[in-house]
A and B are shown apart, each in its own frame.
Chain A
Amino acid sequence: MAKEVSPGVKALRQVVEDVYAEAREAKKRGEPVGWSSSKFPCELAEAFGLHVVYPENQAAGIAANRDGEVMCQAAEDLAYDNDICGYARISLAYAAGKRAAKKLDPETLEVMINPETEKPYTELVDINEIWAMPEGEEKEKRLAAIKPYRQMQMPMPDFVLCCNNICNCMTKWYENIARMHNIPLVMIDIPYNNTVEVDDTYVAYIRGQFDKAIHQLEEISGKKFDEKKFEEACANANRTAQAWLKVCDYLQYKPAPMSGFDLFNHMADVVTARGRVAAAEAFELLATELEENVKTGKSTLPFPEDYRIMFEGIPCWPKLPALFRPLKKNGINVTAVVYAPAFGFVYNGLDEMVRAYCKAPNSVCLEQGVDWREGICRDNKVDGVLVHYNRSCKPWSGYMAEMQRRFTADLGIPCAGFDGDQADPRNFNEAQYETRVQGLVEAMEAARLAKEA
């Protein structure tokens, strides 16, 4: 039986569907469509009514649909190194026209089914080659064979919006896409914050870039900047952020009214639609459902919550079942995820907005990073920490060893690390992961027994 989906979750799913659908429609009408990094100030493009889609969300979706490997390999065949972020590789392969498709028999053009899985085989195709084919049955069949899920049907970009607060790889990734398609690159460069407070000179530097970005967006959209629309977009983004943070805070309840892994799914909305009223409304609806769950003692967690942990890092999207299985087996709920609330930009005025966008997991110093995480560990009452050493995200994984040491020293909780990847399944080993989770459970159990004694 299919899992029951609440109206709030349905609304959230619809918002993301709409973002992609509207971008596809805009493209058909000949309107420009942008590709944006997840933490680019969306308020800017919203003020111009531009349609924007998000390659990070797309890459996560492609990976979760088990096409991460074929797309990563496609990027490697284009000479991108396999040390580059998996999201970037998937996105660059997609930008170059590579698509995962159902394999067609070369003679009959019928979909070829794998007898073991009873599902179609997957093959890599090039959309540019298909588009260049003469009109006819073969072209139609080849286009129809491209996987139908929204992330594999994302329109190609007419401009790119890059903000490197989320990672530095982003800059070269977006430069490559801009060159590949010969399209404008709107760049917001966020300097690394080596102090907890954002320096005033940073604010001035970034505000100057906002002015340039507005000028570029005027040229792209053919519209003049409308301050009222910008303020409206900011108000919507703030409302979404506040509703999102409220949803995240429900994980403070013990037991929690939801599975922490739900947050990773709901992040699609806060990434792709935080400037939209519909996203704010959907999160507000979800918050009311969680409030009700608290009152009635229900939870979306499909098993009793025995242990609570912080999951550090992005999940291994291609291996979600393998990731979740030992957690379920051991009654572990992920009640703290620093990545999720990091998308809750709440501000008042332009300077505060700049300061908010300065702070992302990879753009802040170690002290700030530890403070965020230890705060959420305390508030959300975790028993241990599971750290994903993500091959795709070296800046993030790089400082985790020291963070792990501090979590144990400051909070007195065990931490376990495992190797994996957010998008490339070749970098994850299930047996190694299971052992580390079991070790973490045994250490949490020992701590619990010691406390009880």
Chain B
Amino acid sequence: MHDIYTLGIDVGSTASKCIILKNGTEIAAKSLVDVGAGTSGPHRAIENVLARAGMEEHDIDYTLATGYGRNSLMGLADKQMSELSCHARGAYFLFPQVHTVIDIGGQDVKVMRIENGAMTNFQMNDKCAAGTGRFLDVMARVLEVKVDELGELGAQSTKRVEISSTCTVFAESEVISQLANGSDSRDIIAGIHRSVAHRVTGLARRIGVQDQVVMTGGVAQNQGIVGALQEELGCEIHTSPLTQYNGALGAALFAYQIAKKKAAKQS
């Protein structure tokens, strides 16, 4: 049987991620473009990942799209699946003992329960943007720092500053007030991390938190959030260097499962 190459595409609200998997186990190439659904991002990400793998579209056996923009790739992808299942699958691939996956995306927060590698239940945030990646973007802008600097800066905090977790708009006002009162921005950042962690914990407890807990998505790169969540949940949280690609990885794994079945039928 020939090698099976599958492409997973995760078109999120703020970024487009692709992974090409060889035989469902080996990452042949990956790509990330910092813009998501409704932009040129998804197509650029696909072009990049194919170029990096030295492949062309017809070399791919099966393509599966996920994320909020998954339906925009109807002609390109063979199948669409929700980012919920794909994150669950990606996390299970990286951490086979996983039972709870927390994913903080650009515009939503998801907590998934995993049993034997399959998602059995999930919770998502309501319309409120508090606790999402967008919340962190807004806060970083107010504090005049880059969003990927938040983790490092928050770690330098020396004094506890509380930020409300009820609403992005109110929290922004609170941050401005804290700055006006002379609070150190590093303390404010640590407060923001606790605020996000508090919000996410509420959601996670609704579904029940069971070890191992894995955090996926770009926000998992922020060690301040991971640390605050560990403190709130009272358990260790596992992350991977592939965290941003986790949804695309899950999509590529599902694609492999389907491609393998198809190949078996044909042979």
Residues of A within 8 A of B (CB): 389, 401, 404-405, 408, 414-417, 419, 427, 429, 431-432, 434-436, 438-439, 442-443, 446-447, 449-450
Q: Which of A416, A431, A446, A450 has the most CB of B within 10 A?
A: A446
Chain B neighbourhood of A429, CB < 8 A? 127
Assess the B124–A442 pair: CB atoms within 8 A. Answer: no
Cβ-closest chain B residue relative to A438: B82
Chain A neighbourhood of B84, CB < 8 A? 435, 438-439, 442-443
Cβ-closest chain A residue relative to B122: A439
| Chain B min CB distance to A164 (Å) | 27
What are 5 pairs between A and B in contact, CB < 8 Å?
Answer: A427-B127, A431-B68, A438-B82, A442-B82, A442-B85
CA distance A405 to B122 in the complex (A): 11
CA distance A414 to B82 in the complex (A): 15
Known: A442-B81, A442-B85, A450-B115. A432 touches B122 (CB 8 A): no
Assess the A446–B126 pair: CB atoms within 8 A. Answer: no
Q: Is the interface of A mostly helix, strand, loop or mixed?
A: helix
Known: A419-B126, A439-B84, A442-B84. A414 touches B116 (CB 8 A): no
A-B contact count (CB 8 A): 63
Chain B neighbourhood of A449, CB < 8 A? 118
Residue in A401, A432, A442, A450 whose CB lies within 8 Å of B116: A450
A-B contacts besides A419-B127, A442-B119, A450-B115, 18 pairs, CB < 8 Å? A408-B207, A416-B122, A417-B124, A419-B126, A429-B127, A435-B68, A435-B82, A435-B84, A436-B124, A438-B82, A439-B119, A439-B124, A442-B82, A442-B84, A442-B85, A443-B85, A450-B118, A450-B120
Residue in A415, A431, A432, A436 whose CB lies within 8 Å of B121: A415
- Please list the 3 inter-chain residue pairs (A to B) with the smallest Cβ-Cβ separation, ordered nearest first: A446-B118, A439-B84, A438-B82
Chain A neighbourhood of B10, CB < 8 A? none
| Chain A min CB distance to B130 (Å) | 14
Cβ-closest chain B residue relative to A412: B120
- Give the size of the chain B interface in residues (CB under 8 angstroms): 23
CA distance A417 to B119 in the complex (A): 16
| Chain A min CB distance to B106 (Å) | 13
Residue in A408, A427, A439, A447 whose CB lies within 8 Å of B82: A439
Assess the A446–B120 pair: CB atoms within 8 A. Answer: yes
Residue in A401, A419, A435, A443 whose CB lies within 8 Å of B83: A435
B206 within 8 A of A: yes
CA distance A446 to B118 in the complex (A): 6
CA distance A450 to B120 in the complex (A): 10
Chain A neighbourhood of B123, CB < 8 A? 417
CA distance A414 to B84 in the complex (A): 13
Assess the B81–A443 pair: CB atoms within 8 A. Answer: no
Chain B neighbourhood of A389, CB < 8 A? 126
Chain B neighbourhood of A436, CB < 8 A? 124
Q: Which of A389, A427, A429, A432 has the most CB of B within 10 A?
A: A432
Assess the A443–B68 pair: CB atoms within 8 A. Answer: no
| Chain B min CB distance to A428 (Å) | 10
Assess the B206–A404 pair: CB atoms within 8 A. Answer: yes
Assess the B127–A443 pair: CB atoms within 8 A. Answer: no
| Chain B min CB distance to A91 (Å) | 25
Chain A neighbourhood of B116, CB < 8 A? 450
Known: A401-B206, A419-B127, A431-B68. A443 touches B115 (CB 8 A): no
Chain A neighbourhood of B208, CB < 8 A? 405
Chain A neighbourhood of B207, CB < 8 A? 405, 408
CA distance A432 to B108 in the complex (A): 9
Cβ-closest chain A residue relative to B124: A436
Assess the B119–A443 pair: CB atoms within 8 A. Answer: yes
Chain A neighbourhood of B82, CB < 8 A? 435, 438-439, 442
180-212 of chain B: CB within 8 A of chain A: 206-208
CA distance A434 to B66 in the complex (A): 12
Assess the B122–A447 pair: CB atoms within 8 A. Answer: no
CA distance A416 to B81 in the complex (A): 16
Cβ-closest chain B residue relative to A389: B126
Q: Which of A408, A416, A439 has the most CB of B within 10 A?
A: A439
| Chain B min CB distance to A403 (Å) | 11
CA distance A447 to B71 in the complex (A): 25
Cβ-closest chain A residue relative to B67: A435
97-141 of chain B: CB within 8 A of chain A: 108, 115-116, 118-124, 126-127
CA distance A434 to B84 in the complex (A): 12
Chain B neighbourhood of A434, CB < 8 A? 71
Chain B neighbourhood of A431, CB < 8 A? 68
Assess the B122–A414 pair: CB atoms within 8 A. Answer: yes
CA distance A404 to B68 in the complex (A): 25
| Chain A min CB distance to B29 (Å) | 26
Known: A435-B83, A435-B84. A443 touches B121 (CB 8 A): yes
Cβ-closest chain B residue relative to A435: B82
Chain B neighbourhood of A401, CB < 8 A? 206
Known: A435-B84, A438-B82, A439-B82. A446 touches B119 (CB 8 A): yes
CA distance A436 to B123 in the complex (A): 9
CA distance A86 to B19 in the complex (A): 45
Chain A neighbourhood of B115, CB < 8 A? 450
CA distance A424 to B262 in the complex (A): 46
Cβ-closest chain B residue relative to A405: B206
| Chain A min CB distance to B64 (Å) | 12
| Chain B min CB distance to A420 (Å) | 10
CA distance A450 to B118 in the complex (A): 9
CA distance A432 to B83 in the complex (A): 12
